[in-house]
């Protein structure tokens, strides 16, 4: 099923040398027809070398740009190379690569533009500390209030996007740090069809979470909240109206303006 | 209303003139771009005008509810500094996006410029 059209797995990695090879192997095993690209976001621990040694294609940021920018580099690469759809999966091995086919299925079938792997659909009792639980509830509530629909895992990094969604996310509206709830609301407002599929999460074994520090979490909630408010305000002023109504289904990505810019 | 003492006026005029001269000199030497200079220039000229024009300073003091004129001078000085900082933040935000886009392009071009693709890729399917 995954052999339909050319698909690319984008794996953003920052200082994940301990887990990147295992992640690559698991993705290759679970989705053998998918091309892989690791976006090394200015790692200093040999992540790039580890990924190259595993035979992966690696795009290296010359310095740290942020998780969102790393994803976007992968999107721009996919558009430049004419890939028709992309799966994003975290390098730390927390996402179970065996879920790639089921997460990608709605996009490949043309019934969705974006499919999100939700850890909560796979395990409603997914363990989290109190702070994180409160954060997830807050963003679910905000999403439902502003997007008019519900989503169980608005901060998931495990997604599948078709060509139209890729072209949209390759623009400067895409946040360079945390493209989470704010971007999901923007995509929903831009009338992309978003669905969720269950995705199992494994415990982190190595490396360090982006959200490990308390100050980082506070900044995260602040930033995404401000960004959401700005999104709503922009939308009401026709900002999103500048973008063409997205084409439906996994169309030829190479015709998008972003792809032309890259070439 | 007793506006500024001669000493206060002298210091304010001296600093404002020095600022304007310094900015002009930086522009002349191409060390400062005009697009960043105009708010600074406005600050210097604004302080100068307020320092020498007693009635304007007195009127503004009444307008903003200031008890005496010298704080009014400070108030407008700080206000302009805030605007200048904001201008920088806007510019930095734009530069951040530009640097990000450049770095992304470098990463992609570097990959294209690599002589041979990585050997025995486990996932090659083209």
Q: What is the pLDDT of residue A234?
A: 73
What value does the mean pLDDT of chain B take? 85
What pTM value is reported for the model?
A: 0.80
| Polymer length of chain A | 263
Nearest to B111 among A3, A59, A65 (CB): A59
Residue A14 sits at the chain B interface (C-beta within 8 Å): no
Q: Closest by alpha carbon to A101, among A202, A184, A21, A7?
A: A7
Phi, psi of B32, deg, nearest 5: -130, 130
Residue B122, pLDDT above cutoff 70: no
Q: What is the pLDDT of residue A245?
A: 45
d(CA A127, CA A167): 35
Q: What is the pLDDT of residue A73?
A: 97
Query: Using 50, 70 and 90 to split pLDDT, how confident is the model at A262?
Result: very low
Q: What is the pLDDT of residue A104?
A: 95
Residue B121, pLDDT above cutoff 60: no
Q: What is the pLDDT of residue A42?
A: 93
Cα separations in angstroms, A121 against A96, A178, A197, A242: 14, 22, 7, 34
Residue A258, pLDDT above cutoff 70: no
Query: Using 50, 70 and 90 to split pLDDT, how confident is the model at B54?
Result: confident
DSSP label at residue A11: E
Q: Are A98 and A158 in contact (CB under 8 A)?
A: no
Verify whether the Cβ–Cβ distance B124 to A57 is below 8 Å. no
Element at A198 (helix H, strand E): strand A194-198
Task: Provide the edge-to-edge strand list for the sheet that holds A7-13.
Answer: A57-60, A35-40, A7-13, A85-88, A159-162, A114-118, A194-198
Q: What is the pLDDT of residue A110?
A: 94
The two structure tokens encoding residue A178: 């945390």
Q: Closest by alpha carbon to B18, among B36, B41, B50?
A: B41
Query: Using 50, 70 and 90 to split pLDDT, how confident is the model at A243?
Result: very low
d(CA A59, CA B109): 9
Residue B118 sits at the chain A interface (C-beta within 8 Å): yes
Q: What is the pLDDT of residue A134?
A: 87
Q: What is the pLDDT of residue B124?
A: 40
pLDDT digits (tens, 9 = 90+) for A76-132: 999 999 999 999 999 998 899 999 999 999 999 999 999 999 999 988 888 888 888
d(CA A118, CA A105): 14
Specify the 3-state DSSP secondary structure of A221: helix
Query: Using 50, 70 and 90 to split pLDDT, how confident is the model at A16?
Result: very high
Residue A50: Cβ within 10 Å count: 22
Query: Using 50, 70 and 90 to split pLDDT, how confident is the model at A74?
Result: very high
Q: Are A57 and B117 in contact (CB under 8 A)?
A: yes
Q: What is the pLDDT of residue B92?
A: 93
**ipTM for this model:** 0.78
| Polymer length of chain B | 126
Residue A257, pLDDT above cutoff 80: no
Contacts of A213 (CB under 8 A, 6+ apart): none
| C-alpha A91: how far from chain center | 12
Positions of E strands within A61-158: 85-88, 114-118
Measure in Å the smallest separation between the Cα of A62 and chain B Cα atoms.
Answer: 6
Q: What is the pLDDT of residue B123?
A: 47
Verify whether the Cβ–Cβ distance A55 to B118 is below 8 Å. yes
Averaged pLDDT, A207-234: 77
Phi, psi of A258, deg, nearest 5: -60, -40
Q: What is the pLDDT of residue A207?
A: 58
Q: What is the pLDDT of residue A217?
A: 80
Residue A65 sits at the chain B interface (C-beta within 8 Å): yes
Q: Are A145 and A154 in contact (CB under 8 A)?
A: no
């Amino acid at each position: 099923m995954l052999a339909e059209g050319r698909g690319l797995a984008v794996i953003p990695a920052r200082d994940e040398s301990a887990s990147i090879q295992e992640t690559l192997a698991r993705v290759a095993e679970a989705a053998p027809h998918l091309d892989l690209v690791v976006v090394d976001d200015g790692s200093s621990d040999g992540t790039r070398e580890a990924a190259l040694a595993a035979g992966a294609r690696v795009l290296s940021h010359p310095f740290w740009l942020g998780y969102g920018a790393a994803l976007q580099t992968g999107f721009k690469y996919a558009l430049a190379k004419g890939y028709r759809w992309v799966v994003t999966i975290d390098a730390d091995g927390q996402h179970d690569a065996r879920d790639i086919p089921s997460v990608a299925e709605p996009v490949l079938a043309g019934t969705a533009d974006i499919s999100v792997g939700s850890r909560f659909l796979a395990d409603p009792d997914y363990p989290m500390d109190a702070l994180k639980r409160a954060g997830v509830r807050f963003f679910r509530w905000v999403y439902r209030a502003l997007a008019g629909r519900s989503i169980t895992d608005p901060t998931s990094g495990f997604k599948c996007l078709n060509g139209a969604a890729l072209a949209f996310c390759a623009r400067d509206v895409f946040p360079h740090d945390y493209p989470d709830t704010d971007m999901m609301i923007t995509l929903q407002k831009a009338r992309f069809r978003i669905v969720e599929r269950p995705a199992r999460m494994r415990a982190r074994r190595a490396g360090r979470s982006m959200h490990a520090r308390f100050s980082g979490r506070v900044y995260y909630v602040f930033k995404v909240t401000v960004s959401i408010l700005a999104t709503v305000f922009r939308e009401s002023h026709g900002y999103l109206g500048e973008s063409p109504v997205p084409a439906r289904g996994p169309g030829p990505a190479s015709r998008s303006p972003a792809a032309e810019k890259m070439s | 209303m007793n506006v500024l003492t001669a000493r206060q006026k002298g210091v304010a005029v001296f600093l404002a003139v020095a600022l304007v001269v310094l900015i002009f000199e930086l522009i002349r030497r191409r060390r400062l771009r005009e697009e960043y200079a105009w708010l600074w220039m406005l600050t210097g000229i604004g302080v100068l005008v307020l320092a020498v024009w007693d009635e304007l300073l007195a009127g503004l003091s009444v307008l903003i509810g200031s008890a005496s004129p010298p704080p009014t001078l400070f108030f407008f000085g700080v206000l302009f500094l805030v605007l200048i900082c904001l201008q920088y933040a806007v510019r930095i935000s734009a530069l951040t996006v530009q640097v990000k886009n450049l770095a992304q392009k470098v990463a992609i071009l570097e990959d294209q410029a690599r002589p041979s693709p990585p050997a025995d890729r486990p996932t090659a399917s083209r």
